[in-house]
Amino acid sequence: MDDGMLERLADLIVGVGANVQPGQVVAVGSEPGKEALTRAIVRSAYRHGAKFVDVSVWDLHVKKARIELSREEDLDFVPPWFGQRMLALGDMRGVRIALSGPVEPTLFAGLPPERLGRDQLPFVPEAMKVVNDRTVNWCVAPCPTEKWASFVHRDLEPAEALARLEEQLVHIMRLDEADPAEAWRSRVAAIASAAERLDERGFDAIRFRGEGTDLRVGLLPSSTWTGGAMDTVGGISHIANLPTEEVFTAPDPQRVDGEVRATKPLVLGGTTIEGLRVRFEGGRAVAITADTGGDVLEAMTRRDEGAARLGELALVDREGRIGPMDTVFYDTLLDENAASHIALGAAYELTVRDEADIDRINRSDIHIDFMIGSPEIEVDGLEADGNAVPVLREGVWQI
């Protein structure tokens, strides 16, 4: 990616996604191999008036060493300053920017799943708290790397694969538009409109049906659909995911039943999970199997009481730019915005209206999205009397 396009991408992430304001402290989470975009984001943040930009780099090889060599009793240990740092950023009404895209998609292959499931870093539970408290404006965005590109486009030479991935990301991020910011404002408005229509229907549950999938996800009485932009407690509007193509809500963690087949692979750190199948009974994931890597996810669901229950339900139409590419990106940010999905673990408080339902949403130290939608999966809204209303057919809204 040339310097001009890199600067355009950084400005989009900083100015439109995170919406950095003058005087804010900006925390940037990166990895080795993402230096060029990281530095461009730092420069953009200072141009937008940042008070200070704090860059942290997480190296998966360091995590691998811990998984392989740490004492069993130490695997759950997280230095207290990790969480305190996150809470301090919220207290300062700061900004979080994180760069997605796997730098080592198969690094953890062959490592013991039980040990992998116990080490959640760099994720810390305090990250969910600052999101629920709406004390930070934040954005997660993709960063192309050669190893990621070669994993996605395995039939191409590394340089060609990287060029192809960068070309796709330019389109996905709407950087090929004359005014990317305006293009995102238009898309966000369309997503918000879909959320409003879903809210108006007040469905009791959402049902997914298709090959390998027959899943019913109950909703709470005040489950609220949201999508596109979010606002902090201080009124700063931001787009938490760039790209974003989803509308999402909080499911009832006690009312999820049936079987579901993942329609795309899932990458957790350096583990790739393919052919994932999950069976739910009474809200709990009681059986998790996969062609590869399923034991890692199954181990994670034993972390706490809420880890085997759902905290998010998201619907995605076909009007976004990711799905039509028919490419598996092996990156949750991109793949979840190509297809409807659910998430095991913690729910977002902003997806319910009533205080009583906030107490009922799922709580957990994990939040793991996996994709269950495709043009072949029918999505219905179920009314309280059991009447089924078509919601998505071949990726097109029916409401």
pLDDT score of 109 more than 90: no
pLDDT score of 51 more than 80: yes
Task: Identify the pLDDT of residue 303.
Answer: 86
The most confident of 71-80, 91-100, 365-374, by mean pLDDT = 91-100
3-172 architecture in CATH? 3-Layer(aba) Sandwich (3.40)
Task: Identify the pLDDT of residue 332.
Answer: 87
| Mean pLDDT of the 248-277 span | 92
Q: Domain locations in the chain?
A: 3-172, 202-225+243-397
Question: For residues 214 and 206, what is the distance between their CA atoms, to the nearest angstrom?
Answer: 11
Question: For residues 25 and 51, what is the distance between their CA atoms, to the nearest angstrom?
Answer: 5
- Joined tokens for residue 257: 């039943």
Strand partners, 206: 217, 381
The proportion of the chain whose per-residue pLDDT surpasses 70, expressed as a percent, equals 99
Task: Identify the pLDDT of residue 393.
Answer: 96
Q: Report which DSSP code applies to 114.
A: H
Express each pLDDT in 137-184 by its tens digit: 999 999 999 999 999 999 999 999 999 999 999 999 999 999 999 999
Instruction: Specify the amino acid at residue 97.
Output: I
Instruction: Specify the amino acid at residue 177.
Output: E
